[in-house]
Structure 1
Amino acid sequence: MTTMPFREFLMPPYAYTAMYVVFFISGSVMLYGLYRHLKGYRIGLREFLGLVSDDFGAKASRFFKFGLGQGRVLAEPSGGGMHGALFYGFLMLLAYTTLIFFQTDVLPLFTSASYLQGNFYILLEFLGDAFGMAYVVGLAIAAYRRYVKRLAKLETGWRDSLVLGMLLWIGLSGFIVEAVRFVFVPSQWAIFSPLGDAISMLLSAALRLDPFGFYQAFWWAHMLSVFALLAVTPYTNLVHVFTSGFNVAIAPVKPMGKLNTPFSLAKMAEAGTYEAPPSARRSSDFSPLQLLALDACTNCGRCQEVCPAYASGRDLSPRVVVQDLGRDMRGNEGVDVFTKGVIRETELWACTMCNACVSACPVFIDQVDYIVDYRRTLVSENRLDGKKRLFLENIARNNNPFGLPQRERQSWLVDMGVPTVKQNPGAEYLYWVGCQSSYDPRGRNVARAMVKILKAARVNFAILGNDELCTGEPVRRMGEEGRFQELALKNIESIRRAGLKKVIVHCAHCFNTFLNEYPEFGAEFQVIHHTQLISELVRSGRLRVGGLDQRVTYHDPCNLGRMNGVLDAPREVLKSAAGLELLEMRRTGLNSFCCGGGGANVWYQVPERKKIGVIRMEEAKETGANILSVACPFCITMFEDAMKTTGDTQLLVKDIAEVVSETLTE
């Protein structure tokens, strides 16, 4: 027994020399595998450093919060704790092993001092045991979820079983090596390694004859297993240990609701050359960062679990899209993904682009980007059905998806006494009415309610009238990038000529497009959602909301809540009505469920077992509310369509502006 606790090193010197030889070989095999991956992404050292340095502050913050901090992983109710135990248990064991390496092989080159002794050593032993136990327990839970509960979102093949088995063996064999060390060299400090100490008591009788021989055998078995796993990691699905961290660190920093821009129409016009837009037909056609993201996928199934298209029985799972593209990329066959069947057109058109998958992904894969790139290819090749083709033709001819005359945008509003910017050039706000509320009879009710509110609060506003065009939001999401940019440039110029810097919108889709996509094309105005403005008018006392004795539940539009974080303003407005009882659905806020109208889906039919809108309506009914309040005209369209499908008339669907308007006295 010793009075000073310290770490014993029991293997003969040649064993450590042999260990480093094996480590060098396995490390070289691992590095070569990682090099092959980087080469496949077309990312060299210079490109990698550039990607890291670009938006460095935001990327570093994201990496610490969601990479090391595991923010999205730990937030997941069913598997967050398990993954946290695995991740932090592994990091602690890695840190302890690294400290041992420095103590035995680096520090002696400079000094005879030792830090693996005394209280610091006892603390390390305790933390190593505690986190090691967490690691093993996490693996046991992972096995239970895969082989006992058989969770639908988890795909399990022989490779998964092999990797899980190796990880579990490495964890358990490490504890056995520690336990045999305590048998061979009894220590009064072993109690600070509770699991190793307990195992040593169980093994002491069996190992009495030759504990050192048993120690050497298990030490080698443990170390060779670790090095074998290290070597094969880049060649198995465990490669995500590296690639997922890289992706969190260097993925583009952009708003969730912003799609990528493959070309600039303005620059083409300036140069006088119009080139064919990029066409994605192979997995290799993606950008280097998109290729990295395909390898970063952990196949955890979180994206599939929250996908409204998958829940409705549509032919889409974002997990399958990424996994299939990843396999095709690693196969390096360079064939047409449509011809080969890697991607199906029905998958692409099933997506509502609600970004639930993007929000849920723990390693920051943007699944929507892959889908929209392939949609652009289908549009450029005119591989469209009649409804999609008619939608784009209506936009091209009449600047609105309904195909109705441009003059009808303004006429009915002028009859209400709403001034245009030409009639009221000194207006403070431009009210952007949008296509749905300019032409659709149901949508016009929202605009009427909003006009009533603006007049009641004495807001100085005007409209563009016939100069207002479709924002291009559904056009871009359908895949017609050129038409979107054309509309964006025209609208930006119209707003600039009007001289107004504040734009009110009640359409969540227009809000997201103005806020996140138009600035890239020169927009310099402030966009305000109508719920934000109404909330401010109520707070400032300019608008007095009356009473409403109703039970109301609020649906967060994806483009407003999840993508742009506007969560409080709509609820503040509803709560300002005396007598109104606000009831929340089980999926709400950032985790809200889609209405089914995004991604231009409202303009064409998608085969499905159960309408997405019906699923959401059922969740609204569970609250016991009388009114389903929304903040986007597309949500109204989808929910009222769901009511027609089911024949349900228990819930009234109303925009927040309509709810407020009904409480105002004339």
Structure 2
Amino acid sequence: MTFYDPFCLPFIFGATVLFTTLAVKYGLWLHRLPKADKRLIRRGIPTRATLGAIGEVVSESLLHRRIFRVNPLLGYMHMSLAFGWFLLIAVGWIETVAVLGFRFVPLQGHVFFKYFAARQAFEHLPVFDFLMDLLLLLVLSGVALAWGKRLYSRAMGMRRTTKHTPGDRIALSALWFVFPARLAAECVTAALYGGGGFLTGSIGALLSDHLSIHLLLALFQPLWWFYSCCLGLFFVALPFSRYMHIFTEIPLIFLRRYGLHSREKKGSYDHFQVEACSRCGICIDPCQLQSVLGIHDVQSVYFLRDRRSERLALSVANDCLMCGRCAERCPVGIDLNTLRLNSRDRMRNVPDENRFDYLRGVDRSQGMGKVGYFAGCMTLLTPRTLQAMERIFQAAGEEVWWADREGGVCCGRPLKLSGETDSARRMMDYNRDLFVRHGITTLVTSCPICLKVFREEYDLEGIEVIHHSEYILRLLRAGRLRVRRTEDRYTYHDPCELGRGSGIYDEPRAVIGALGELVEPAHTREHALCCGSSVANTVISDGQQLQLARHTADELRATGASTIVTACPLCKKAIARGAESPPVADLSEVVAARIV
């Protein structure tokens, strides 16, 4: 009993290249992880995190649950290819054991079992013929949809698909022919030797009725060679193409479950995130740079492609609003914003120590109290928000320590967004010492940018950090602040850093609900549009920012609300620029105007 034929060579070579490359890459990436990350992996393996990771691999890597949420047809296409191929391998393996028992069979013996079974007259099991044909049909339906997606992506809910690299094109072409080649080879085998299920057996019977035995014999070996060559070529190209995600997404899920994450400095874990990108293109449509400004080559899919090939340009790294709309749609859950940040850090982080001389004696904070208020740079530039917060504090009888009303130090996030992480850290250290020295227990800020960095980067143990929308709602529910409800209609714009960045959606809406009627725009909550004035993008012009603002303002105005409300000083300024009417106000302003 032999399981070798010369036509197996392309497959054997391809599989050897694939698994050797994967072993080398993964081995190096894991070896280069910091000791703290390695400890997280060791501690995480014997916990429920491993079971959770296995469940996520099934639901996302095989069934593609997140892609189904984007578009059911697109989800079916990905599921049929991934889960269908997995089941073909698994059921084929079971068939081999059912026919031959628990004896050693080399890899090519399992993959080309129909060939060896026919040539060596193994026992015929009709149930497996049926199952394997059914699974092959499932995968072929996915291949047909993949062909259709390249021709008309809108049918699957995508206005645009990705641009391919040469490696992508080679791998994709091979993948497209793998399963049609398998179908053809198994059909001719069924025509010559019998067997086969409802698909291969029926087509084989037609072939035997209409083609001569000599022609079938002439086709037999070339078709198996073609199938083997398609597999071998795909496996060789896979590690150097978008299809590296097939394998890399699995360890990424496990590492993420164990608590590993990308940091402000580039690290080895980043490789797992970058190469887990399938370049499916789902992240392209949500990007307002593409849909509003017509910029088509800087989206996350191309950023990751260029970073992976180590040809990332500064213009691509910086040309991003970092609004999080693409990350919200990413079916792999890649931390796109952090990868952007540490790419910028690698390129631009050139701190100048002399810039921080002004920090000496800059503490102009006022007042006392366990509640501290940090306005932030942009709130200081929107004085109506600052005045509204002062009125709210007074009405609630709150004694407040004003951290920066008379000037202070930036929270550091704008510097971090531009890639100057070391400079940002200097500011963060100064502010953290200031907060601790004044003994506050609650820190309120009106700026979502400040909120995010305080919560994630400052390590303010013992100090609760909340946004003013959360604080105002707390006052209302405690009865410390009373407001007058009217028949006014408000629409609310979710700031990127407050909503997608910090998960705060319900609190601002609850506050507005106490004032009047809330009407939602077309894009809301995690799908809300960016105002366009993100401090993260250092490439687009002021005119382009205004275009984005007008696009967002038009959608908000279409609700027919009497007031556009937001909860970010930067968003307020941007939307007000783009909206001639209705008026744009911060949440604190509409609350302060209704205090009784």
Common topology (TM > 0.5): yes
Whether 1:616 aligns to 2:552 is yes
**In the TM superposition, what is the alpha-carbon distance from 1:567 to its structure 2 partner?**
1.5
User: Larger deviation: 221-230 or 42-51?
Assistant: 42-51
User: Residue 479 and residue 178 in structure 1: after superposition, are their counterparts in 2 closer, same or farther (change >3 A)?
Assistant: closer
**Aligned mate of 2:485, from 547, 558, 561:** 547
Whether the 8 Å contact between 1:306 and 1:356 is mirrored in structure 2 is: yes
1:278 aligned partner: none
1:80 aligned partner: 75
Partners of 1:122 and 1:452 in 2: CA distance: 80
**1:226-241 counterparts in 2 under 5 A?**
226-241=231-246
**1:79-98 counterparts in 2 under 5 A?**
79-98=74-93
2:146 aligned partner: 142
What is the CA deviation profile of residues 429-455 of structure 1, one whole-angstrom value per residue up to 9, with x for unaligned ones? 323322322x32xx2222332333344
User: Residue 216 and residue 209 in structure 1: after superposition, are their counterparts in 2 closer, same or farther (change >3 A)?
Assistant: closer
What is the CA deviation profile of residues 597-637 of structure 1, one whole-angstrom value per residue up to 9, with x for unaligned ones? 33455999567386322221122223333322111111112
**Aligned mate of 2:434, from 478, 494, 508:** 494
**1:404-483 counterparts in 2 under 5 A?**
407=364, 420-421=367-368, 424=369, 427=370, 429-437=371-379, 439-440=380-381, 443-459=382-398, 461-464=400-403, 469-483=409-423
**In the TM superposition, what is the alpha-carbon distance from 1:399 to its structure 2 partner?**
9.5
Whether 1:155 aligns to 2:155 is no
Whether 1:102 aligns to 2:97 is yes
Whether 1:361 aligns to 2:330 is yes
Note the aligned Cα RMSD (angstroms).
Answer: 4.2
Partners of 2:150 and 2:583 in 1: CA distance: 43
2:285 aligned partner: 305
Partners of 1:126 and 1:650 in 2: CA distance: 65
Partners of 1:233 and 1:195 in 2: CA distance: 29
1:132 aligned partner: 136
**In the TM superposition, what is the alpha-carbon distance from 1:313 to its structure 2 partner?**
4.5
Whether 1:505 aligns to 2:445 is yes
**In the TM superposition, what is the alpha-carbon distance from 1:592 to its structure 2 partner?**
2.1
User: Larger deviation: 240-249 or 17-26?
Assistant: 17-26
Whether 1:316 aligns to 2:298 is yes
2:122 aligned partner: none
Partners of 1:308 and 1:317 in 2: CA distance: 10
Whether 1:595 aligns to 2:526 is no
User: Residue 540 and residue 97 in structure 1: after superposition, are their counterparts in 2 closer, same or farther (change >3 A)?
Assistant: farther
Partners of 1:595 and 1:370 in 2: CA distance: 22
User: Residue 655 and residue 20 in structure 1: after superposition, are their counterparts in 2 closer, same or farther (change >3 A)?
Assistant: same
User: Residue 15 and residue 574 in structure 1: after superposition, are their counterparts in 2 closer, same or farther (change >3 A)?
Assistant: same
**Counterpart residue identity of residue 141, structure 1:** L
What is the CA deviation profile of residues 228-275 of structure 1, one whole-angstrom value per residue up to 9, with x for unaligned ones? 43344334443332233333433597799xx8344xxxxxxxxxxxxx
Whether the 8 Å contact between 2:190 and 2:204 is mirrored in structure 1 is: yes
**In the TM superposition, what is the alpha-carbon distance from 1:53 to its structure 2 partner?**
3.7
Whether 1:61 aligns to 2:47 is no
User: Residue 664 and residue 323 in structure 1: after superposition, are their counterparts in 2 closer, same or farther (change >3 A)?
Assistant: same
The sequence identity of aligned pairs, in percent, is: 23
User: Larger deviation: 80-89 or 229-238?
Assistant: 229-238
2:252 aligned partner: 247
**In the TM superposition, what is the alpha-carbon distance from 1:45 to its structure 2 partner?**
10
Q: What's the TM-score once normalised by structure 1's chain length?
A: 0.72
Q: Which runs of 5+ in 2 are unaligned?
A: 106-124
Partners of 2:436 and 2:557 in 1: CA distance: 44
Partners of 1:136 and 1:570 in 2: CA distance: 49
1:397 aligned partner: 358
**In the TM superposition, what is the alpha-carbon distance from 1:92 to its structure 2 partner?**
1.6
Q: Secondary structure at the match of 1:205?
A: helix
**Counterpart residue identity of residue 464, structure 1:** A
Whether the 8 Å contact between 1:146 and 1:154 is mirrored in structure 2 is: no
**In the TM superposition, what is the alpha-carbon distance from 1:394 to its structure 2 partner?**
8.7
**In the TM superposition, what is the alpha-carbon distance from 1:211 to its structure 2 partner?**
11
Partners of 2:100 and 2:209 in 1: CA distance: 34
Whether the 8 Å contact between 1:180 and 1:214 is mirrored in structure 2 is: no
1:657 aligned partner: 588
User: Larger deviation: 235-244 or 615-624?
Assistant: 235-244
User: Residue 469 and residue 149 in structure 1: after superposition, are their counterparts in 2 closer, same or farther (change >3 A)?
Assistant: closer
**Counterpart residue identity of residue 61, structure 2:** G
Partners of 2:260 and 2:104 in 1: CA distance: 51
Whether the 8 Å contact between 1:508 and 1:557 is mirrored in structure 2 is: yes
Aligned length: 563
**1:141-220 counterparts in 2 under 5 A?**
141-149=145-153, 152-156=160-164, 159-176=167-184, 179=187, 194-196=198-200, 199-200=203-204, 202-203=206-207, 205-206=209-210, 209=213, 213=217, 217=221, 218=223
**In the TM superposition, what is the alpha-carbon distance from 1:142 to its structure 2 partner?**
1.7
Whether the 8 Å contact between 2:273 and 2:334 is mirrored in structure 1 is: yes
1:31 aligned partner: 19
**Aligned mate of 1:630, from 566, 570, 583:** 566
1:351 aligned partner: 320
**In the TM superposition, what is the alpha-carbon distance from 1:349 to its structure 2 partner?**
3.7
Partners of 2:572 and 2:538 in 1: CA distance: 11
Whether the 8 Å contact between 2:264 and 2:342 is mirrored in structure 1 is: no
Whether the 8 Å contact between 2:532 and 2:549 is mirrored in structure 1 is: yes
Whether the 8 Å contact between 1:251 and 1:364 is mirrored in structure 2 is: no
What is the CA deviation profile of residues 8-41 of structure 1, one whole-angstrom value per residue up to 9, with x for unaligned ones? xxxxx43557687775544322223334544775
1:560 aligned partner: 498
Q: Secondary structure at the match of 1:154?
A: coil
Partners of 1:76 and 1:640 in 2: CA distance: 32
User: Larger deviation: 163-172 or 135-144?
Assistant: 163-172
Whether 1:376 aligns to 2:345 is yes
2:273 aligned partner: 293
Q: Secondary structure at the match of 2:2?
A: helix
**In the TM superposition, what is the alpha-carbon distance from 1:472 to its structure 2 partner?**
1.5
Whether the 8 Å contact between 1:247 and 1:364 is mirrored in structure 2 is: no
**In the TM superposition, what is the alpha-carbon distance from 1:308 to its structure 2 partner?**
3.3
Q: What's the TM-score once normalised by structure 2's chain length?
A: 0.79
